[in-house]
């Protein structure tokens, strides 16, 4: 599903990173641990094609995304990669349900409101479907962000510090949801974090 080879990245006047090779198969869960400044977010952005590596390559669902052009890359990312960020961002002007179907619309897929509602039901958020995202609690927002990341049934789910802003209870809930969604869709789940609470929950780990 996801593998990298000799990934290198150097900021114009900042640090440079050489990353270990990553392999993550269908349905596999991988935890990437690292202290601040070890390039966790940089690695996640490289995996998502949001940054272009200066060396090496990233392959997702059999496609080498390192050489892909702008618009094609945006489309491919939308279809195959679901991303959960440290802080959940939304289209603030639109309701929770409309935010959920945004990846379907942006990848030119048929809009399936039933799928959005099914996810909201599963995440216990259906009663918030029409509300604006900023009316939700941080924990609820992170759950909506996970639902949005998985709505297109991506091959790879990337999560950047998904729990660092949450208390223990919410953190447990979010990790459980991520794992469950990855299992349900057969996606490979990659979590980058410095959150020590997650250390014992994943058998496959890489430390930067």
Partner 1 sequence: MNLLKIAWSNIRFKPMNTLLSIVLLSFGIGIITLMLLLEKQLGEKFNRNIKDIDFVLAAKGSPLQSILANVYHVDVPTGNIKVADAERIIKNPMVEKAIPLAYGDNYEKWRIVGTNADYPAHYGCVVKEGRMFEEPFEATIGALVARETGLKIGSNFVSSHGFDNADGDAHHHEKPFTVVGIFETSDCVIDNLILTPVASTWLVHETEEEEKPFANTAPAAETKPEETPPAAPVQQYENKELTGDEVMKQMAAEAKMIMPGMVKKVDNNREMTAYLIIKRNRGAFGLLSNMTKDTNMELANVAVQNNRLLNNFGIGMDTVLAIAILISIISFLSIFISLINSLKERKYELALMRTMGGTRSKIFALILLEGLVLVVLGYIVGLLLSRLGLVVLSSFIKDKFHYNISDLGITKADLALLAITIFVGIVASLLPAIKALKIDISKTLANG
Q: Is residue 146 within the footprint of partner 1 (CB under 8 A)?
A: no
Stretch that binds partner 1, among 26-34, 82-90, 118-126, 136-144 (CB under 8 A): 82-90
Contact string (CB under 8 A) for partner 1, positions 103-132, x = contact = xxxxx---x---------------------
Q: What is the DSSP letter of 166?
A: S
Two tokens at 205? 């780990």
Q: Is residue 93 within the footprint of partner 1 (CB under 8 A)?
A: yes
- Tell me the torsion sign for CA atoms 62, 68, 72, 73: positive
State the burial class of residue 143 (Cβ atoms within 10 Å of its Cβ: 0-12, 13-18, 19+).
buried
| Residues 19-58 contacting partner 1, CB under 8 A | 41-42, 45, 48, 50-51
CB atoms closer than 10 angstroms to residue 121: 12
Q: Is residue 140 within the footprint of partner 1 (CB under 8 A)?
A: no
Residue selected from 70, 114, 168, 200 as contacting partner 1 according to rule CB under 8 A = 70
Phi-psi region of 35 (alpha: psi -120 to 50; beta: other; left: phi over 0): beta
Residue selected from 13, 14, 67, 71 as contacting partner 1 according to rule CB under 8 A = 71
Total residues at the site for partner 1 (CB under 8 A)? 34
Give me the least distance between CB of 203 and partner 1, in Å please. Answer: 28
| CB crowding 169-185: b at 16 or more within 10 Å, else e | ebbebbbebbbebbeeb
What is the distance between the alpha carbons of residues 109 and 106, in angstroms, rounded to a whole number? 8
Q: Is residue 86 within the footprint of partner 1 (CB under 8 A)?
A: yes
Among residues 125 and 145, whose Cβ is nearest to partner 1?
A: 145
**Using an 8 Å Cβ cutoff, are 187 and 181 in contact?**
yes
Residue selected from 21, 63, 64, 87 as contacting partner 1 according to rule CB under 8 A = 87
Residue keyed to tokens 């992170």:
142
Q: Is residue 83 within the footprint of partner 1 (CB under 8 A)?
A: yes
What residues line the site for partner 1 (CB under 8 A)? 41-42, 45, 48, 50-51, 70-71, 74-75, 77-79, 83, 85-87, 89-94, 98, 101-107, 111, 148, 152
């Amino acid at each position: 599903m996801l593998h990298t080879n000799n990934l290198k990245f150097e900021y114009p006047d900042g640090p440079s990173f050489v990353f270990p090779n990553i392999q993550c198969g269908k349905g596999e869960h991988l935890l990437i641990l690292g202290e601040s400044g070890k390039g966790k977010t940089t690695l996640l952005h490289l995996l998502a094609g949001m940054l272009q590596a200066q060396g090496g390559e990233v392959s997702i669902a059999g496609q080498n995304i390192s050489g892909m052009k702008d618009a094609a890359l945006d489309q491919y990312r939308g279809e195959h990669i679901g991303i959960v960020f440290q802080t959940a961002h939304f289209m603030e002007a639109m309701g929770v349900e409309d935010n959920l179907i945004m990846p379907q619309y942006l990848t030119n897929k048929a809009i399936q409101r039933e799928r959005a509602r099914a996810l909201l039901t599963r995440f216990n958020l259906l009663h918030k479907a029409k509300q604006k995202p900023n009316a939700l609690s941080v924990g609820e927002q992170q759950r909506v962000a996970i639902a949005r990341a998985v709505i297109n049934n991506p091959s790879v789910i990337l999560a950047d510090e998904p729990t660092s802003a949450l208390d223990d209870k919410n953190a447990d809930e979010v990790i459980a949801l991520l794992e469950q969604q990855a299992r349900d869709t057969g996606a490979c789940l990659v979590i980058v974090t410095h959150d020590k609470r997650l250390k014992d929950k994943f058998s496959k780990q890489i430390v930067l």
